[in-house]
Amino acid sequence: MSDLLNPGESLRPIVILISGTGSNMAAIVEAAGKEDWARRYGARVAAVISNRPEASGLTLAQSLKVPTEVLDHRAFESREAFDAALMLRIDAHAPALVLLAGFMRILTSGFVAHYAGRLLNIHPSLLPAFPGLNTHRRAIDAGCRVAGATVHQVTAELDHGEILAQGVVPILPGDTEAMLAARVLTQEHRIYTDAVRVWLRQRSRP
């Protein structure tokens, strides 16, 4: 299987969803540029979409020359209505891959089914331990010696699905949530980029 794009082939779009600072998004966009994913895997980051107009990651994406869009979930009466509108926004890019990068929304089963097999998430714990929120506080309170992050396929069950990559860091004496979160974030940037790269390589065109 070739690792290079054939001349004349169109690029496979990647859409990234964010709600906050977008640091994982930036790590992926920067890797795509430095490693020439367009040539190697026939892929490009087509858009960054946020459910929060105030998300600082939007400005970061714009500085990286990635088109951005906002769809404020607060303008919709139901989760289903928001997800339906979000699908329309995403599908306008005909994405090969949709990445949740700090996208703080619980997605409906219909949304997840629509993107089955091409919807990935990064979670700040070593799943199956500590799904949900407040992962760093829970790991410290439980007396864990290590923590980390997980990249996984998204399913209708929150923070489940096939595990694609994990990164581990120690929990040190005196660690606060913020200290542990910063240490884990360095692993998030590494493993999410690695997992996307592997996903694209495995699906490179012959």
Read off the pLDDT of residues 22-71 as tens digits, 9 standing for 90 and up: 999 999 999 999 999 999 999 999 999 999 999 999 999 999 999 999 99
Binned at pLDDT 50, 70 and 90, residue 9 comes out as low
In the prediction, which pLDDT does 7 show? 40
In the prediction, which pLDDT does 204 show? 72
Q: Is the peptide bond before 131 cis (omega within 30 degrees of 0)?
A: no
Task: Summarize the confidence of residues 7-25 as an average pLDDT.
Answer: 87
Find the radius of gyration of the CA atoms of the chain. 17
In the prediction, which pLDDT does 10 show? 73
Residues tagged active-site: 123
Domains assigned to the chain: 12-123+150-166+192-202 (3.40.50.170)
Rounded distance between C-alpha atoms, residue 40 and residue 46, angstroms? 16
Amino acid letter, residue 45 = V
Give the residues across from 69 on adjacent strands.
49
pTM over 0.85: yes
Task: Summarize the confidence of residues 195-205 as an average pLDDT.
Answer: 89
Among candidates 106, 109, 110, 99, which has minimal Cα distance to 153? Answer: 99
Binned at pLDDT 50, 70 and 90, residue 203 comes out as confident
